[in-house]
Amino acid sequence: MKKINLLTFLCTAGIALATFSCGQSGNAPVDSPTSGSIKITVDESFAPIVDAQIQMFQNLYKYAKVQAVYKPEVQVVQDLLTDTVRFAIMARQLNDQEKAEFAKLKITPRVNKIAVDGVALILNKANTDTTLTMQQVRDIFTGRKTTWKQLDPTASNGKITIVFDNGNSSTARFIQDSINLGKPLPPNSYASTSNSNLVDYVAENQNAIGVIGVNWISDRHDSTAISFLNKVNVVGISVKENPTSEDDYVQPYQGYLAQGTYPLRREVFIVSKEARAGLGTGFASFITGDKGQRIILKSGLVPASMPVRIVGFRQ
């Protein structure tokens, strides 16, 4: 980690200097909660929802410019630690080691939960086995089962290929932490270069299973999400060891994420180390406020501070 000099520290801490300020002449701040320019780093799993948030925020505040750089989770955290940015959006909170690094710099990042998301499993359209139990999911990602026939005697004997968007992505880390309990992924795991390429690979390879953030397929009004859903099938997952009906399987729909019945759920956080009320603070307030939470609701994710209405239908 690079060392910060005195001026950098004073700027980060928001201390006014008599002769110069952080990147701007005089004592005026570089930005305000509704104006100026800021570069933020974002887990690439959340590109669709963050793009929508930025567009609305900048429409409301014409003097505000938010530049989002989308990266794998590992690089997002590194940007925060190396002082490249002061604002990040990611799929987990800081761990103890990362908190200790900030403590050395005498910085206490503010963390706000903004949404509940999930990790979706996608299959080729020709793969007829579109439901899995959690035990089968564990068997796939730990390498105990390597062919589709081992999961379903009626399926083909094709070898399973696991595909992630990136080896350092939050989805890969989620599978390792939540499914594999820290153990490495099996040798039949591969990394694509983007979510679009991941979907295309699964669409072209019958034996592939892809791992993607729900945000990329949840918004039924978004053209990218619609195009993805037209190319692949989304897996329904059951937490029951021996499911007896289709109702025992749930897909990563908003209602199931809200109820907690979809098992591959995760939360989305803003991590900010902005020491004063700058543009990062204003953008964070927007996302956690009414308008920002409504954007999350419309996207098909679960907003952190707005109830989701779940409607049941009787036949």
pLDDT tens digit string along 101-156?
Answer: 999 989 999 999 999 999 999 999 999 889 999 999 999 999 999 999 999 998 88
Question: What is the C-alpha to C-alpha distance for residues 169 and 172, in angstroms, rounded to an integer?
Answer: 5
- Whether 274 shows a pLDDT value over 50: the answer reads yes
The confidence score (pLDDT) of residue 307 equals: 60
Burial label for 113, CB within 10 Å (0-12, 13-18, 19+), is middle
pLDDT (mean) for 17-34: 51
- pLDDT-derived band at 309 (thresholds 50, 70, 90) equals low
- CATH class of the domain at 6-116+267-303: alpha beta
In 4-160, the DSSP E strands lie at: 36-43, 64-71, 87-90, 110-124, 131-133
Partner residues linked to 43 by β-bridges: 71
What pTM was computed for the model? 0.85
β-pairing verdict for 110-124 and 232-234: antiparallel
Higher pLDDT, 11 or 311: 311
Sign, CA dihedral 174-175-179-181, equals: negative
* CATH number of the domain located at residue range(s) 117-265 in this protein: 3.40.190.10
Residues of the chain with CATH 3.40.190.10: 6-116+267-303, 117-265
The confidence score (pLDDT) of residue 306 equals: 66
Q: What percent of the chain has pLDDT over 90?
A: 80
Please give the mean pLDDT across all residues of the chain: 88
The confidence score (pLDDT) of residue 240 equals: 94
- Up-side HSE of residue 254: CA atoms within 13 Å toward CB? 21
How many of the other CB atoms lie within 10 Å of CB of 209?
Answer: 24
The confidence score (pLDDT) of residue 61 equals: 97
Tokens, residue 249: 């399987």
